Every structure is written in C-alpha cells, then in structure tokens.
Amino acid sequence: MSNMSVNGQNHLVIDGVDTVDIVNKYGTPVNVYDISLIKQKISAFKEAFKNYENKTQVAYASKAFSSLALYEMLAKEDVSLDVVSGGELFLALKAGFPKERIHFHGNNKSYEELEAAISEQIGCIVIDNFYEIGMIKELTDKCDTKVDVLIRVTPGVEAHTHEYITTGQADSKFGFDLTSGQVETAIKQIKSIERINMIGLHAHIGSQIFEVDGYQVVIEKLISKAKEWKNAYNFDLDVLNVGGGFGIRYTDEDAPLPLEEYAKAIMSAVRKHAELNDMELPEIWIEPGRSIVGEAGTSLYTIGTQKTIPSIRKYVSVDGGMADNIRPALYQAEYTGVLANRVNEEEEEKVSIAGKACESGDMLIWDITLPQPDQNDILAVFSTGAYGYSMASNYNRLPRPAVVFVENGKDFLAIRRETVQDYLKLENSIENWK
Ligand code: LLP
C-alpha cells in the first residue's frame, strides 16, 4: 500500500511529493504524513470487517497521532474516534468531529474531563473504575442528560509484545479486574443508575500484536461472562469492543498479518462463542491507532556530525532524536530508513544513527546500511507516524518538529515547527515575583 517511490534525481518521493522539496520548504526535523495511505488504511479496516453478519465500527485511537487537520480529515471519513484526555477531546471538538462518534478512554479521567465529555454529549465513555461511576452519575444528573458507557475489563490475557505496551494482563492499571468480582459489582452499580446506559464491554490486550489468539481468548472469556451476567443481572452485550493493537511493519523483521486475517479470527470467534452461549451477535468495535497512521509517517532529518571509532562503529548524528521519537530509547524499537536525497548508490557503509539529545540512549537506529552519509544529507526514517510526534517532548529544549501532510503531489503544513520563542508563552520572568 506504500505510496513511496524514487524519482529521476534519486530522491525519495512520498505520495507524489519530493522529500527534498519538503525539506527545502519546511526544514528539518519534519514529520511527513502520507494522507492517501491513512485513507487507504481506514478503508482497508472497514472493508476487512464489513462482510460479517453483525455490525462493526472502526474507531481511530488518536493517541497514536492527533492534530487539528487530521481530526478534520477524519471527520469526513466514516470512522469513530477514541480520545483519552480533555486535550484530545478539545482538539477533536474544535475540528468539528461529530460528537456522537467520539469515545472517551482513560484510567484517571478527571471530573473536568468527564464534565466536558458529558455536557458535549459524546458517543460513549469507557468506564475504567469505580470512581468514574460516581462522577458520571453526578455529572449526568447535573447536566440532565444520559450517557452510553462500555465497561473496560482487564481480561487477564497477555499479548506477546513489549512489557510496557501490554495492558490486558491481570496486574494492570487499566480497567475492572475480571477475576475478583469487580466487574460484577460495577455492573450492579451502573444498572442502578438511570442516566447511565450500559451498552457493553471493552478490552484491549496490548499493542504491536502479530497474532490472533490473544483476541480470540478475550472474546471467548468476555462472551461467556456476558452470558452469566445476562442471567444474573440482565446485562446486555450489545457492543463488544476488542481494542486496537494490530501490528505494523517497522523493519523487514516485522510481518504483520493481513487485516482480513485479524477480522476473520475476531469475527469467527465472536460468532462461535455467541452461538455456544446462545447469545445474540454483539456489534464489534475495534480501535486501531498505530496501524492507521504508523506506516504513513516518515521523519526527515538533516545529518550533522559524525564520529568514527576505528573497527568499532561510525556514529552519524541527526538534528532530532529521542525528543521527537522516544520509541527506540523507551522500547528498544527498531526502525529503518534511507538517505532521502541519494536513495540508491553503489557505495554503502554500515553506520549507527544518533540523536542530538545529551543522553547516550538517544540512538535512533543501530547498524543501518546507507550510502556514505555526508553533512547536510537528509535521512528519512520510515514508519514513525504512530507514537512519534504524539510522544514528543522538549527535552534539552529541542523544539517539536513540523508536521507536513502530503497527498497526490500536494503538501500542507499541518503543525508548524515549534520555535524557541514559543517557550516564552509559558514562561514567567523572576522579575514578576514580587
Ligand atoms: N485502545 C486502547 C484502549 C489503547 O490503550 C490503545 C493503545 C489503543 C486502542 C491503540 O493501540 P494501537 O492500535 O495503536 O496499538 N506508546 C506505545 C504504544 C502505547 C499504546 C497505548 N494504548 C508505542 O509507542 O508503542
């Protein structure tokens, strides 16, 4: 599905736009998003999940990457939106994203965040804990409105991925524990509140998952539990949200499954267990984040200094790093890339790409083979669209990069580069301390 090519000048081209032109126009570091690819991914998800008897809904997990322009674009696609903070909700509402298609997640939603969600009458709140039940009751009374909710369950299933990004195992900060009666207590409490309309269950087992069995085990567990709760508390499983987590390709080592395989595994498990438990087929919701925007993002950096340690390694430094992409430092995530201004050349060498932060762990790529890099060459790092910009920081007072959208040969500045002047908007001089 990639819309990348190399032009006659040996430059990397993304969806019809020469990356060297992007760098000349916007500078580096810059994160480029291939908007055609994002749209293709959304329709691929919808296609893969559509040919089943029960209804399905795709919600984009916008923690992976959010921006006003992205939300505006998604508002026009037939897709729902998962937000996890007042900030994401604010931006989505500013973008005119249809409120009824917004779902609100999080393990520590504040009273103010819940108030914003409830007063705006968004589509659904995913209740994570008992505190929220109380706050939502109070707020629906105060706003004289009703709200649809899902109950987030920690299913006790571990997906095979990095420890920091698994969430479904029993020992997790998220959701109601399935093994200790917490879900039953939550159901009873919620059932007794007139203005809270419980529509079903949610579980998310982790991220960057390449296997289908984790989803199937969760589906089996939750549907059989839902049957028990139907009998005991008249609980209706109208919606089963199986979360996100679908894996993507960062390097050639990653072999993501075709979306149809995830869909088939999920939907056949739902049908099988609904039949076994004599239940109606629930609506299935999914929440992909990384798999919508990850491969659509490319980071462009300018190469600066180099250091060669004879017979050990050549370090090649770029003008970004862990401040705009924390994933290698935090999860030992691996990336690959090319020299965007000289993609294919005969002479190549093995180098390691260092970021510019004052920290030894700020290495973007260990051991990559590239045409011999020079100062001012442009390095393109692939598949940086998810959890790159969205987890960016100002560590070392490095300004956040610009974000540029490209589509069919056109480019658009979606988020301008931060400047050091922007820092002053938040700062107060000691002179003002009287
Ligand atoms: N739904 C829920 C409830 C989630 O917690 C997440 C991700 C998603 C959906 C979307 O998952 P995805 O399809 O993007 O895998 N910063 C980490 C990933 C953290 C994921 C947090 N939750 C990383 O860079 O790998």
Task: Give, using CA atoms, the residue closest to atom 16 of ligand 1.
Answer: 387
Q: Which amino acid is at 386?
A: A
d(CA 379, CA 338): 6
Distance between Cα 143 and ligand 1 center (Å): 31
CATH H superfamily, domain 51-290: Alanine racemase (3.20.20.10)
Is pLDDT at 295 greater than 70 in this prediction?
yes
Mutate which of 109, 215, 259, 287 for ligand 1? The one with the most ligand atoms within 8 Å of its CB, which is 287
Closest residue by CA, ligand 1 atom 5: 204
Residue 192 has pLDDT above 80, yes or no: yes
Cis previous bond, 29, omega within 30: yes
Confidence class for position 161, pLDDT limits 50, 70, 90: low
Q: What is the mean pLDDT of residues 203-208?
A: 93
State pLDDT tens for residues 63-96. 999 999 999 999 999 999 999 999 999 999 999 9
Q: Give the model confidence (pLDDT) of 5-38 as tens digits.
A: 999 999 999 999 999 999 999 999 999 999 999 9
Summarize the confidence of residues 260-271 as an average pLDDT. Answer: 97
Amino acid at 155: P
Ligand 1 pocket test, candidate residues 45, 63, 241, most atoms within 8 A of CB: 63
Asked if pLDDT for residue 165 goes beyond 80, the answer is: no
Ligand 1 centroid to residue 64 C-alpha, Å: 7
Atom of ligand 1 nearest to the CA of 209: 15
CA angle 6, 9, 10 (to 5 degrees): 45
Average pLDDT of the segment spanning 120-132: 98
pLDDT at 157: 76
Q: What is the pLDDT of residue 162?
A: 57
At the fourth CATH level, which superfamily is domain 4-33+296-424?
Lyase, Ornithine Decarboxylase; Chain A, domain 1 (2.40.37.10)
Q: Where in the chain is the domain with CATH 3.20.20.10?
A: 51-290
Q: Which residues are annotated as a binding site for substrate?
A: 290, 327, 331, 359, 387
Model pLDDT, residue 51 = 85
Where does ligand 1 bind, in terms of residues with CB under 6 Å?
A: 61, 64, 82, 105, 165, 167, 204, 207-208, 243-246, 287-291, 327, 331, 386-387
Q: Which of 255, 309, 312, 358 is catalytic?
A: 358
Question: Which residues of the chain form CATH 2.40.37.10?
Answer: 4-33+296-424
Asked if 358 is an active-site residue, the reply is: yes
Q: How confident is the model at residue 168 (pLDDT cuts 50, 70, 90)?
A: low
Does pLDDT of 108 surpass 60?
yes
Q: Name the pLDDT band for 170 (thresholds 50, 70, 90).
A: confident
Q: Is the pLDDT of residue 164 over 60?
A: no
Residue list, annotated binding site for pyridoxal 5'-phosphate? 245, 287-290, 387
